[in-house]
Amino acid sequence: MSTATMDRVEAASAASHLITVTFRIRRFNPEVSAEATWQDFQIDIDPKERVLDGLHKIKWELDGSLTFRRSCAHGICGSDAMRINGKNRLACKTLIKDIISPDKNGVSKPITVEAIKGLTVLKDLIVDMDPFFQAYRDVMPFLVTTGNEPTRERHQTAEDRERFDDTTKCILCAACTSSCPVFWNDGQYFGPAAIVNAHRFIFDSRDEAGEQRLEILNDKDGVWRCRTTFNCTDACPRGIEVTKAIQEVKRALITRRF
Ligand code: SF4
Ligand code: FES
């Protein structure tokens, strides 16, 4: 078989895997209108591809003005959290085949994609992350030690390391905070992600600022605002037990043991 024929066979075989999917995307451009509107895009795509691939296809082939954040495309940078079919997810970790349900004629409902809630939308799927990162900075997300400059590594037992292992996995995607009804109603609440990152240091045996962080979270906009709805745990793409971490911080505030 000639190379050209082989190319045609490969192209035909690839095309046979494609399905037609409608992306229903909530668009917002403050330079055009004060109102957000839904816009449909129909694309042919392999269902094993991800929602991010679909968004790229739309941006690169249909409408270059579609605006969204993404960087690593592999679930590491946390920049592409969005509401997909009404649930917070990372677009780069969400396979098309997992969120469509074709009827008997093979036709699926549109995939809805919109910006995460509770943060001001700047354009299309991009929100203003400043309040989110301010809450993160406010809990002092760094190791604090005084007067004990080490000459070698700061040692820690495996058991002590285990206490905060789960909360080290956070990629600051904001899927948890922007799925929290308390945060939607009052953006002053620190939110789950900030508490997760406070937890990461409060329970670190090498750190000396646990009391300080607990007092920060004892604030009226702190940890007591949590209503234990578990939305945050459900939303976390890293599988962090966010609600459990929040409960541990609450317990540490009561017992002052951590
Ligand atoms: S805890 Fe999970 S959902 Fe929340 S910011 Fe971190 S990785 Fe994202
Ligand atoms: S693009 Fe980096 S986590 Fe999705």
Give 63-119 pLDDT, tens digit per residue. Answer: 999 999 999 999 999 999 999 999 999 999 999 999 998 888 778 899 999 999 999
Which residue among 176, 189, 242 is best mutated to probe the pocket of ligand 1, counting the most ligand atoms within 8 A of its Cβ?
A: 176
Q: What's the pLDDT score for residue 7?
A: 62
**For 130-148+160-255, CATH number?**
1.10.1060.10
SS3 per residue for 57-110: HHHHHHCCCCCCCCCCCCCCCCCCEEEECCEEEEHHHCEHHHHCCCCCCCCCCC
Residues of the chain with CATH 1.10.1060.10: 130-148+160-255
Mean pLDDT computed over 140-169: 92
Paired residues of 27 in beta bridges: 37
| pLDDT classification of 1: cutoffs 50, 70, 90 | low
Give 176-228 pLDDT, tens digit per residue. Answer: 999 999 999 977 899 999 999 999 999 999 999 999 999 999 998 899 999 99
Measuring from atom 1 of ligand 2, which residue has the nearest CA? 73
**β-bridge pairing 19-27 and 111-114:** parallel
3-state helix, strand, coil in the chain (%, to 5): 40, 15, 45
Give 32-69 pLDDT, tens digit per residue. Answer: 999 999 999 999 999 999 999 999 999 999 999 999 99
Which residue among 200, 242, 243, 248 is best mutated to probe the pocket of ligand 1, counting the most ligand atoms within 8 A of its Cβ?
A: 242
Residues of the chain with CATH 3.10.20.30: 17-127
Identify the CATH class of 17-127.
alpha beta
> Is the pTM value of this prediction over 0.95?
no
Cα gap 106→95, rounded to integer Å: 17
Cα gap 49→226, rounded to integer Å: 36
Give 146-158 pLDDT, tens digit per residue. Answer: 877 778 888 899 9
155 C-alpha to center of ligand 1: Å? Answer: 27
